Amino acid sequence: MKEYQPAAIQEIRLQDPFFSGRIRINNDVTLPANVRKCRETGRIDAFRLDWKPGMPNQPHIFWDSDFAKVIEGMALSLMLYPDPEREKELDEFVDLIISAQQKDGYLNTHFTVVEPENRWKNLSRAHELYCAGHLMEAAVAHYKATGKRKFVDCMARYADYIAEVFGRNPGQKRGYPGHQEIELALCKLAEVTGNRKYSDLAAYFINERGQSPNYFETVEHCEDTENLQADRPIREMQKLRGHSVRALYYLSGAADVAAESGDSSLFEACERLWNNVVERNMYITGGVGSTCVGEAFTADYNLPNDTAYAESCASIALVLFADRMLNQTGDARYADVMETALYNGAISGLSLGGDKFFYANPLENDDQMFEHGQQMRKRQPWFGCSCCPTNYCRFLPQIASFAWSVSDDCLMVNIPAACAGNVKRKNTSLQFRLSGSYPYDGAGTLEISDASGAGESTIALRIPGWCRNWTLSLNGKAVADSPQKGYVRLRREWKKGDRIEWKFDMPVRVVHANPRVSADIGRAAILRGPLVYALESVDNSAPLELIRLKKGTSFTLKPAEGLPEGTIAISGDAMIQADTDQLYFEGDLPLSPGRFTAIPSALWQNRGDSSMRIWIPEAE
């Protein structure tokens, strides 16, 4: 069982300078923009099941998942911003989806109208179970937001049908999803319905995957099972390889199944593969998946910058996996990675305006790339495969639930972003306000405005892994307790007016990569607090490829120009290398003194087309 649970979305209202405005923009801009695109492209009308050969907008194998993520986002956002008109539109969409369900419970627009004869015949590539999973997640969110059961009941019927089709009993298919996701969705469905059959089905999909005889190889003649994490069972995997989003949804589902079942061997596999990802295969931004070929993990330490894929959905999936591991263990090392991904790799794919997106998130970009039609280098309003834009719809409303975890008698502050909270649990009810300018400042205060309940409870404050020096006080008295698993735990019978104050020192840090990461040899990255910084051509007069970070430089903090109020830029001394037209030459090019300016890397390309780089060559 999980030691903690994510805080409910409506219990915590973020008021910080980094995320709170973007959550509002998601509600006001990102969601409507995605609804329009789903309508324009036929993703909504596909559920009318009236498409015929020769008509435009043939329903695609993954369209159901795109619309489902938008539906989930609408429901989650309703919890933060109640809106009768939005709820009415949401219910109309839900009724449309329910109308597409077949008598046996099946619900998939592509295989109902385009190729019904091929239902369940191409699990490895056709996304049927993946789409089902996203519809289940949308149904759970709709139920939690509205209290209406119609969508959950619809998806329970679908899950019942899937449980009849798949399994180890005679007459059942021994298959599993090509694109993992339904596993974690089934665990959510089990939680809201109270029916363990659904988490048992999730366990079947996790445990059957990659077993011999291999279903994908023997039945579907699939030759690329490693890319699908289906070449061997999860407990035999030593390294995480293949498609990065599939892999991290797989591990998120496995963590859920391990928590539900108490399966220690499955949890050990999750831990082992977590370590392989974050210690050898994760970019400094929390990006994962280093190649566009198969959108995949490659070899340990292979982390190129200019060709990094680091798909937006993959960083989002890493946050989901980290959140599960954190809540199952209460260990801050998972929160450290979750924070890195949240503030850097996961949010970089969404523009500040809320309606343009990156699919891939390279750590280095040259202006010349724009001349060669590499659209991955420019945020786009939509993609043919629009998993990332639609994913942001549901990701943004959940951020506060990543920042806080709860148990019956403990509140865990994972990320000290300013917020107002009203958390009710078995033994306690606390209203509080957390103030501060995190992530731009390390000082913060949590003040209790109302407390009721029986006896003592705990507030646990995470000491970030990047923080070397910190102070903490309770009602003006210094707290010298050592962190346990990265958290300082304060236990008492809380009263109105109780005040916790902390100060995390937040110097600018110069970080180097393991020498096995060949792309970063002789380079450094600039970090402050949880933020990874980048040079952007908008702020620097010299071409970025000629800027060298001067070793030992002192840094200056200043307001970033053209970015949201409160955003901090970093400047310092640089050496500017002379340019040349020669392709090859002898000797060294001369260096001259100069300056550089860096901004939070997730905010690049919000002020026009630009070049960017995170890893900067150093010079004496």
Residues 342, 504: Cα–Cα separation, whole Å = 19
187 among known catalytic residues: no
Q: CA 323, CA 321: separation in Å to the nearest integer?
A: 5
Catalytic member of 260, 295, 364, 501? 295
Q: What is the 3-state secondary structure (H, E, C) of 518-531?
A: HHHCCEEEEEECCE
pLDDT given for residue 454 in this prediction: 67
Mean pLDDT, consecutive 10-residue stretches, the chain (620 aa), reads 88 98 98 98 98 97 98 98 98 98 98 98 98 98 98 98 98 98 98 98 98 97 97 98 98 98 97 98 98 96 96 98 98 98 98 97 77 61 96 98 95 98 86 98 97 88 98 97 96 96 98 98 98 97 96 96 97 96 94 97 95 96
pLDDT at 180: 98
Identify the pLDDT of residue 296. Answer: 97
CB atoms within 10 A of CB 575: 21
Q: In terms of DSSP bridges, do strands 419-424 and 612-613 run parallel, antiparallel, or are they unpaired?
A: unpaired
CA angle 315, 320, 325 (to 5 degrees): 120
Cβ proximity of 207 and 233 under 8 Å: yes
Can 419 be counted among the known catalytic residues? Answer: no
Q: pLDDT at position 368, please?
A: 53
CATH of domain 408-504: 2.60.40
Q: Is the pTM of this model over 0.85?
A: yes
Residue among 131, 187, 387, 388 flagged as catalytic? 387
Residue 1, pLDDT score:
60
Per-residue pLDDT at 367: 64
To 10 degrees, what angle do helices 182-193 and 196-208 make? 160
The CA distance from 255 to 252, in Å, is: 5
Residue 453: the pLDDT is 78
The pair of structure tokens assigned to 253 is 């589902």
Domain range annotation of the chain: 42-194, 408-504, 508-619
